[in-house]
Amino acid sequence: MFNAIYLTQEAGRTQAQVRALDESELPAGDVQIRIDYSTLNYKDGLAITGQAPVVRHFPMIPGIDCCGEVVASSHPAWQVGDAVILNGWGVGERHWGGLAQQARLSGDWLVPLPPGLTSRQAMAIGTAGYTAMLCVLALEGHGLQPGAGDVLVTGASGGVGSIAIALLADRGYRVIASTGRPTEAGYLTALGAAEVIDRAELSGPGKPLQKERWLGVVDTVGSHTLANACAGTAYNGAVAACGLAQGMDFPATVAPFILRGVTLYGIESVMVPKERRSRAWNRLATDLDPAKLAAMTEEIPLARAIPAAAELLAGRVRGRLVVNVNA
């Protein structure tokens, strides 16, 4: 038997509870994992609360990522005792996920836990931090260099934003953090932000082309915020878009792209090939300051993840929530 957050749907409403399940109920897969830690991401919040149709079928165990030890394997790449990370591949949406003590899934979806990272640290990073690193890699691949211009991070107090700030600042970039919580200015500057601005500067309708304020952007918000971020990006700059906390719409014009040569990169984290996925995790293991990661992380037990999901969607969670599934 093992414990898991178990989602059902009744009369169109999602119901979430912690439930004891038998291992025989696990879905098919060629690797079984004993999970040490999971985490709570924005998509997990949507799944648990039912605020968006993230879950494709019920019943479902949510949790788009987890870290633990292989306890059974018929996959050639994995042996019993291997420490592995899972994130993406529709887990927690189409396939039972990581907010549980056990998981059975495809070994093709796994990457090894990088040397130097504990299971808890890996899930403190989680899909949010992994997505932040994919954004940083996109900006670096574009040719951005520290000292060439500022980098804007929107949704700065959240999980993706917090880790993006830490990664960029430690590599020498001057980071501007946009947040709707001005009381978090001290937290953001401790992570490395050189400047903190109110999200209200970006969240409403703006001019299609604005003063050049930054050379790079990591946007977790979408909608008007993304449009204004693009409009304020300098010549030949780059914007990495990875979120939709404000909305899926993009009320912009082509002006920044055809008049300034701005490039908009869409950051997709679910189906990333294994080589690039492993590269991102290995960079996180070497580049992310453990002290900064600890400062942005709160640990909660499995049952606490259910009410925390609503708090996360309401913007009341700072940084990262790591879920101890065995507590």
pLDDT in tens, 106-130: 999 999 999 999 999 999 999 999 9
- Spatial separation of the C-alpha atoms in residues 104 and 27, rounded to whole Å: 6
Nearest to 146 by CA among 235, 215, 218: 215
CB 322 within 8 A of CB 159: no
Element (H, E) at 93: none
- Spatial separation of the C-alpha atoms in residues 93 and 90, rounded to whole Å: 5
**Structural class in CATH, domain 128-266:** alpha beta
Q: Percent helix, strand, coil in the chain (nearest 5)?
A: 35, 30, 40
pLDDT in tens, 256-287: 999 999 999 999 999 999 999 999 999 999 99
pLDDT given at position 286? 96
* Domain segments of the chain as ranges: 2-113+296-324, 128-266
3-state secondary structure of 154: coil
What's the whole-number mean pLDDT along residues 175-203?
95
**How many helices and strands in the chain, by DSSP H and E?**
9, 15
Q: How many CB atoms lie within 10 A of CB 57?
A: 9
**Structural class in CATH, domain 2-113+296-324:** alpha beta
User: How do 263-266 and 233-241 pair as beta strands?
Assistant: parallel
- Spatial separation of the C-alpha atoms in residues 249 and 227, rounded to whole Å: 9
pLDDT in tens, 240-252: 999 998 999 999 9
Express as a percent the part of the chain with pLDDT over 90.
95
pLDDT given at position 52? 86
Phi, psi values for residue 199, rounded to 5°: -60, -20
Lowest mean pLDDT among 96-100, 162-166, 178-182: 178-182
Q: Is the pTM of this model over 0.75?
A: yes
pLDDT given at position 315? 85
CB 276 within 8 A of CB 87: no
